[in-house]
Structure 1
Amino acid sequence: MTRRRKPRRLRRWLWLVFGLWLASLAPVLLLRFVDPPTSAFMLARHWEARGDADFRLHWRWVDWEQVSPQLPIALVAAEDQKFPQHRGFDLDAISSALGEGGADGPSRGASTISQQVAKNLFLWQGRSWLRKAIEAYYTLAIELIWPKQRILEVYLNIAEFGDGIYGAEAAAQRYFGIPASRLDAGQAALLAAVLPNPKRYRVEAPSSYVLQRRVWIQRQVRQLGGPAWLEACCGEPGATR
């Protein structure tokens, strides 16, 4: 009798693990085709501001075809120049960051755009090794299931460009009074320049650092080859393929 129970228990545990694995992949599969209605970071910011009657969260999804070609290349130039080639992780940057880490995890970020999508969509803020492990799992899932264009499309729609300002459309309307489809190279580079810390660096009142970073991003865009450089892996924004 005891020998019979052990295989049954093992099977139940295996089915449980399999079920949990499928449940964890379900949102990644769904969001490959369905636009996310919000993100974990947006929900967290809503919760933080629950007592602030003046706070408003600005966000509106915009499809890939409705984005200026200048914005995706500016984001890649600023945040992750190996985006078209890597499979979710910049190993050189991770190795460098780990060398500076402490007991609570890496002391600075080495995140690719794919990692930032995983983190912003599904996870809480923090730097613990547990969160990094879960982030790595979702990054792998996103890279396996989504094409590069989808990863970049979601990223530019959920990135925070200021306190309570999420996504390209809200940022373009808020700071420049235009839709995301009309952003020029300078405006796109300025939005990308604040991404390291959008609560500290401001688009509407850029510091000298932000202005210098905008110039650097525009130079990097030119060196990479401009918007055409992304077309091979991501398609061309602003036009239906």
Structure 2
Amino acid sequence: MFRAVRLLLKVVLGFVLVSILWVGLYAVVPPPFTFTMLGDTLAGHSVTKDWTPLSDIDPDMARAAIAGEDSKFCTHHGFDWGAIAGAAMRNAEGGRIRGGSTISQQTAKNAFLFQGGGYVRKVLEAWFTLLIETIWGKKRIMEVYLNIAETGIGTYGVEAAAQRYFGHSAARLTPTEAGRIAAVLPLPKKREAVSPTGFVRRHGNTIARYVGIVRRSGLDACLR
């Protein structure tokens, strides 16, 4: 029994050390590949991505992400407990399952983990969220998020999305274009940013209108 506990302790300590070093590496090095990208590759899709520093991405893209995904991004420490509680209550009532993940949580999942996985993945996601909030800070979290988030089948990051959907770089996105990319983020394999219809069009236009509010209200202050 003692040997088993000691072995388990070594495994846990090893995981903690490796995860800290991994997060520390990605603080300065762009994540080269993710498990989600691997899934696309195994499914026969080519992967298109183009790492772009946050300073070279139009600020309205980050504002659109904040408006559409996480309005408290600059003030929380990785978790929006109100949103998590609200999502849990809605899910308990039945119907379509909704999440309460912040941009930090999504970045942790996208950079280090895999899609699905239930409670085990959620625990790992929480651990990596704590690490990136502590080691990276908000600017790096947003930079990584906007570069590795899936924005279409085989398309990753807002630079690749801007080129695919609008034919120009992410450095000069309009609020409408940024809003449409942000509207695609939750379901990138089922939504298109070009000539969108229905929910994507409505949601994208709503996000575009909120871009100015994010700027004026200082909801993106941690990125300036």
1:152 partner SS: helix
Q: Does 1:234 align with 2:218?
A: no
**In structure 1, what is the equivalent of residue 119 of structure 2?**
129
Deviations 1:178-224 (A, max 9, x none): 11111111111111111121111111230122111122112222223
Q: Residues 1-241 of structure 1 correspond to what in structure 2 (within 5 A)?
A: 14-49=9-44, 55-101=45-91, 107-126=97-116, 128-226=118-216, 229-230=219-220, 232-235=221-224
Q: What RMSD in Å do the two structures reach over aligned CA positions?
A: 2.3
Structure ID, larger Rg: 1
Contact 1:73 1:227 in 2 (8 A): no
Alignment gaps of 5+ in structure 2? none
What CA distance in whole angstroms lies between the structure 1 residues aligned with 2:70 and 2:50?
Answer: 24
What CA distance in whole angstroms lies between the structure 1 residues aligned with 2:199 and 2:3?
Answer: 63
What CA distance in whole angstroms lies between the structure 1 residues aligned with 2:215 and 2:179?
Answer: 15
1:198 partner SS: coil
Letter in 2 for 1:22: L
Q: TM-score w.r.t. structure 1 length?
A: 0.83
What CA distance in whole angstroms lies between the structure 2 residues aligned with 1:24 and 1:174?
Answer: 34
- Aligned-pair distance for 1:20? 2.5
2:129 partner SS: helix
- Number of aligned positions between the proteins: 221
Contact 2:146 2:157 in 1 (8 A): yes
- Aligned-pair distance for 1:80? 0.3
> Taking every aligned residue pair, what percent have the same amino acid on both sides?
43
What CA distance in whole angstroms lies between the structure 2 residues aligned with 1:12 and 1:123?
Answer: 24
Alignment gaps of 5+ in structure 1? 1-5, 50-54, 236-241
What CA distance in whole angstroms lies between the structure 2 residues aligned with 1:41 and 1:174?
Answer: 19
Letter in 2 for 1:29: G
Q: TM-score w.r.t. structure 2 length?
A: 0.89
Q: 1:204 to 1:45 in 2, by over 3 A?
A: same
